Structure 1
Amino acid sequence: MMEKITQSEQIKKHLESGGTITALSALQIFGCMRLAARISELRKKDHLPIASRTVTNGDKRFSEYYLQHNLKTV
């Protein structure tokens, strides 16, 4: 039986590969409805230096998360 990969692990791999993620893309790609909670878990548990920026698209504003590789501590 295969082990199921958690949403947090999937998001971590996505960010580590250089990707960015928004709430909408997290829902579409991973079925994740609580991206902010998963980001918080990764920051606390894995000590990942995840940063965010606000993106504006017309009258819509949303957060986009990305990994700051140069700040990652071991």
Structure 2
Amino acid sequence: MLKNKKTQSQCEKILIHLQAGKSINPIQALNLYGCFRLGARIYDLKKAGFEIDSRLIHENGVQYAEYSMRGEN
């Protein structure tokens, strides 16, 4: 399913983060896991069957997505 080990590793780290009840946004993904393409990793996780919610955040004129596991904050 996943293209390479780096992609797989990022997905695993992001999944653990989400399963711990934490939300994640693109800046956190970059700083914590070196992931430049959080949306793509979320897509991979959703395709693998994980239920992940997204919401748009509008802050200081900037819009970005924040992701969390369903049923979590």
Task: Return the index of the structure with the highest Cα Rg.
Answer: 1
Where does structure 2 lack aligned partners over 5 or more consecutive residues? Answer: 1-5
Where does structure 1 lack aligned partners over 5 or more consecutive residues? Answer: none
TM-score by length of 2: 0.83
Q: Is the 8 A contact 1:43 1:49 kept in 2?
A: yes
The residue identity in structure 1 corresponding to 2:16 is: K
Residue correspondence of structure 1 range 14-53 to structure 2 within 5 A: 14-45=17-48, 47-53=49-55
What count of residue pairs does the alignment treat as equivalent? 66
Identity %: 36
TM-score by length of 1: 0.82
Detail structure 1 runs of 4+ shifted over 4 Å in the superposition.
none
* Greater RCO structure (CA 8 Å; 6+ sep): 2
2-side partners of 1:49 and 1:67: how far apart? 6
Displacement of 1:17 after TM fit?
0.3
The residue identity in structure 2 corresponding to 1:53 is: R
SS at match of 2:15: helix
